[in-house]
Structure 1
Amino acid sequence: MNRFRPAAVLFDLDGTLVDSAPDLTTAVNRSLADIDRPALTEDQVCAWIGNGARRLVARALAGRRDITAEPPATDAALARFFVHYHDCLHEGSRLYPGVRDGLERLQAMGLPMGVVTNKPAAFTTPLMASLGIAGYFGVAVSGDTLDVKKPDPAPLIHAAGQLGVAIEDCLYVGDSDADRAAAEAAGSPLVRVPYGYPGDDAIFADHPAAMTLTVDQLAVGLAEPRKVL
């Protein structure tokens, strides 16, 4: 990413802007309780976030991250999960430290911003509104906006197009391997936040080219005159 200054910044949502693990854990455990399955810890659920709700539910049913096939009960469990998540969507979810300050600074610079998430739009929109961040973004591409979602690059490319910016001129900020793969395929430089969810830590260790910054650190750096990444 030598000598790169973005024309726009795109962000993942869960694990990047918002720590939604408490409410995702609640919804998963209520879904498991419906079928008399034992509850999971938040740490377990955190390790399984990053590839959309369906994969999260399938992993919860299987009890592990690496699955080659979905458990037979995935469809029914996913339907229950959506009902429960709707009921607890913003009970415990919160912005990561420095996110609001960073978004304020980027907005003041006039940088267009967007969100690209695998979360369904029915949850993306109210969650962003409840946390008071919807107004920072010119576009929000959810997991069901297109026929594909990350790690496919199409959602990033679509978001850039909605902002009127070429995807190669966008910076993408995320925390998961789906984010890394989508940005790489789209030709967009990637910044990884140093928090988020731990499931893909080993994969990022194999890709040291991804710069690690918090949202406010990124904003402060880009606010410096002639600053490039």
Structure 2
Amino acid sequence: MINAKQLKAIAFDLDGTLIDSVPDLHAATNATLEELGLPICQEEQVRSWVGNGAEKLMERALTFAKATEIENAELQMAMPLFMRHYEQHLQCHSKLYDGVKAALEQLVQAGHQLAIVTNKPYRFTVPLLEAFGIDHLFSLVLGGDSLEKMKPDPLPLTHLLAEWQLLPSQLLMVGDSKNDIFAAKAAGIASIGLTYGYNYGEDIGLSGPTAVCDTFSEVLAQITDRQNVLEQ
């Protein structure tokens, strides 16, 4: 159960949680494959490949295109191409999910500190937040390369607990992937799993989040409604 009365801070995943970024990731992936002379992929395939960082996405795309396991040297050769193409496609087709900006603003107004904890490289995370006008709402942004480890490792969340001097009961993780839920469990904090994002085709409820929401506005309701009940 989410203890809204104790809650002081909320960590949000980015891709598949706040922003539908797959259309641009798909464009960048296909541009990379085309440059390498390989078959391109479909958007739905990319939706099933994201969540573990840019390198893992490219590894999955190359494995698909070549229909065989790839060598690390091939992956390392492809990564600069992908990074260049994604920088060019960063916000061409991506969009905020419905209700995200308004809900984030209400959470900040209610006194919550907000953080981004994503596996997306930091160099792409901040420009995306700026492009959608929500960067000012977050007190801390952690990309997949900001620390030595990324989700599902708990390090980004334990780092956040230490940085903000929080008890585990005072921090909530909100995300769409089992990586978010496993990281939260390992850090000893509550989590909300979103059903609309990218989770490799799996039901997010199977990962055992504290609560499950079908829309972003339900996240706000989970916190504010419980807060109101507790204060009555």
Please say whether Structure 1 and Structure 2 have the same fold, judged by a TM-score greater than 0.5.
Answer: yes
Q: Which amino acid aligns with 2:167?
A: A
Shift, 1:63, TM fit = 1.4
Shift, 1:206, TM fit = 2.8
Moved more, 165-174 or 119-128: 165-174
> CA distance change for structure 1 residues 35 and 216 in 2, over 3 Å: closer, same or farther?
same
Q: Deviations over 1:133-171 (max 9, x none)?
A: 101111001111111111110111212333332344211
1:140 aligns to what SS in structure 2? Answer: strand
Q: Provide the C-alpha distance between the structure 1 equivalents of 2:145 and 2:199, rounded to a whole number of angstroms.
A: 24
Q: Provide the C-alpha distance between the structure 1 equivalents of 2:90 and 2:206, rounded to a whole number of angstroms.
A: 34
Report the TM-score when normalising by structure 1.
0.90
Q: Provide the C-alpha distance between the structure 2 equivalents of 1:82 and 1:167, rounded to a whole number of angstroms.
A: 35
Moved more, 89-98 or 160-169: 160-169
Report the TM-score when normalising by structure 2.
0.89
Alignment of 1:69-84 (within 5 A): 72-84=73-85
Equivalent residue for 1:161? 162
Cα RMSD for the two superposed structures: 2.1
1:206 aligns to what SS in structure 2? Answer: helix
Q: Provide the C-alpha distance between the structure 1 equivalents of 2:177 and 2:2, rounded to a whole number of angstroms.
A: 22
Equivalent residue for 2:211? 211
Query: Taking every aligned residue pair, what percent have the same amino acid on both sides?
Result: 36
Equivalent residue for 1:18? 19
Equivalent residue for 2:148? 147
State the aligned residue count: 225
Q: Structure 2 unaligned runs (5+)?
A: none
Equivalent residue for 2:110? 109
Verify the 8 A CA contact 1:102 1:220 in the aligned structure 2.
no
Shift, 1:209, TM fit = 4.5
Q: Which amino acid aligns with 2:107?
A: L
Q: Deviations over 1:26-82 (max 9, x none)?
A: 110000001111211110000000000000000001119xx9876641111111100
Shift, 1:13, TM fit = 0.5
Shift, 1:121, TM fit = 1.0
> CA distance change for structure 1 residues 128 and 39 in 2, over 3 Å: closer, same or farther?
same
Verify the 8 A CA contact 1:138 1:163 in the aligned structure 2.
no
Q: Structure 1 unaligned runs (5+)?
A: none
Q: Provide the C-alpha distance between the structure 2 equivalents of 1:69 and 1:36, rounded to a whole number of angstroms.
A: 15
